[in-house]
Amino acid sequence: MAAAPVRQRSGPGGPRAQLPPCYYEGYLEKRGPKEKASRRLWTCLCGNSLYFFNNAKDSHFVEKLDLSGFVSLKDDCSRDRNLEAARLILRMKDGETKITAPNLESRELWKGFLYSVVDLNVPSYLTLLPGQLQMLKEVVDKERSRRRTRTPTRAPPSRAPPSPLSVPLVGEIPPCFRPVSRTEAEVLLERHPDCGNMLLRPGRDGCSLAVTTRQDLNGSVFRHYRVTQRDQGGYIIDVENPIPCATLHEVIDALVEKTAGTLQPFLLEEPYEENITYVSANDENGERILHTAPSSPLPKAPALPPKQDRWPSSPLNRSPAPDRRILTSSVPASPTNPMRRLILSPSPLAQTFNEELKRKLEKRRASQE
């Protein structure tokens, strides 16, 4: 039987009605740290705890698991006799509890509800449908409201503790800073081991920072270090021998140095779009459609060759022909220049032609007289 949204079964005044509001329920196989075999129990996520019943109709729970000691939640890839079953390992401060869901979809939903209740934030790294994410958002809002009403009223403090992101930080923030919870930090480091194994994040108390690290020792080993800000300026890594640092960059550098470079800052390159997209409306039905712009540049029209005159008038566009004027233009105009006399002196053929023409003109003139 798959997990399902909440349905209260007992009437007013019954034991189940006295439990916190139930956000999710269904059959799970559970094996605690001291149990040798798994038991199939009807499981209800009520408030910040898991309540286990022998069956769905029982009013009295047989076991309770408080999630205030939550450490991590990860998939268990070991095989089960039921091939469709999907396993989980719920790590608490007092040990591990192995859980088996009916199928992968049920496991993903249980992870979403557990993370939402523990972190009071909808996880963004799970494969869930929009309607399921909306369910988780409603659970976060209800659990926040429940915790506020459960907290006894006290006199308001003189100054509310600031948010980690609003705390005035000294110097620049290192690039390995991520505004994520403890659980999300572990998931990031485990999913991207090639991007580094140490990140800086806000602390759970809302007034400090924390460094989360991941190393591999027959499986993932996570460590969390508190980083507090000093009143006189700077920061301190809260370990057995506190390490003072002037800036957050020095905090990261100190951890890298102390571990001989084993710890490296987590630098995850955010994805960027590979294509240009735009939204436009269809002219016929007005429907808005997402288009992808062409990746290659638009082809340009071929340029026409320059127009050339058939009979160029400029002397620069035609082959230079021998011209006597070109030769004579460079000769000085002095009458005593021998080169001028050589160029201007008539050739023998021209001189003979001129003398013959002169005799004919004289004969014609004499015959007319």
Tell me the pLDDT tens digit for each residue of 281-303: 877 777 778 778 887 666 666 66
- Of the candidates 3, 34, 30, 10, the residue with the CA atom closest to the CA atom of residue 135: 3
User: For residue 45, which of 60, 65, 68 has the smallest C-alpha distance?
Assistant: 65
Whether residue 176 contacts residue 265, with contact meaning beta carbons closer than 8 Å, is answered with: yes
Tell me, yes or no, whether 9 lies in a domain.
no
> What CATH code is carried by the domain that includes residue 88?
2.30.29.30
Point out the domain boundary residue: 259, 288, 312: 259
Q: Do 81 and 192 have their domain in common? A: no
Residues 36 and 116 in one domain: yes
* 144 and 218 within one domain: no
In a domain, 80, yes or no: yes
Answer whether residue 269 is part of any domain.
no
In angstroms, rounded to a whole number, what is the distance separating the alpha carbons of residues 187 and 71?
12
Q: Is residue 3 part of a domain?
A: no
Residue where a domain stops, chosen among 150, 172, 196: 150
- Domain closes at, from 259, 282, 311: 259
Element (H, E) at 339: helix 338-344
Residue 183 has a pLDDT of 87
Per-residue pLDDT of the chain (369 residues; tens, 9 = 90+): 445 555 444 443 346 778 899 999 999 999 988 888 899 999 999 999 999 999 988 888 999 999 988 888 888 887 767 778 889 999 888 889 999 999 999 999 999 999 999 989 898 888 888 889 999 999 999 999 888 887 554 444 333 333 444 455 656 789 999 888 888 899 889 888 889 999 999 987 777 899 999 999 888 899 999 999 888 888 999 998 999 999 999 999 999 999 999 999 999 876 677 778 888 887 777 777 877 888 766 666 666 666 665 555 544 444 455 444 444 444 454 555 555 544 455 566 667 777 888 888 888 888 776
pLDDT tens readout for residues 160-196: 333 444 455 656 789 999 888 888 899 889 888 889 9
Give the total number of structural domains in the chain. Answer: 2
Beta strands 277-281 and 288-292 are antiparallel
Q: How high is the pLDDT of residue 6? A: 53
The CA distance from 369 to 348, in Å, is 32
| Domain presence at residue 223 | yes
Asked whether residue 72 is assigned to any structural domain, the reply reads yes
Angle made by CA atoms 105, 88, 220, in degrees to the nearest 5: 125
Statement to judge: residues 144 and 201 lie in one domain: no
Residue 193 lies inside a defined structural domain of this protein: yes
Instruction: Report the phi/psi class of residue 291: left, alpha or beta, with left for phi > 0 and alpha for psi in -120 to 50.
Output: beta
Domain housing 129: 18-150
Q: What is the dihedral of CA 14, 15, 17, 21, to 10 degrees?
A: -170
- DSSP H helix total and E strand total for the chain: 7, 14
Residues 67 and 136 in one domain: yes
Whole-structure pTM over 0.75, yes or no? no
Query: What is the share, in percent, of the chain residues with pLDDT greater than 90?
Result: 34
Do residues 44 and 142 both lie within one domain?
yes
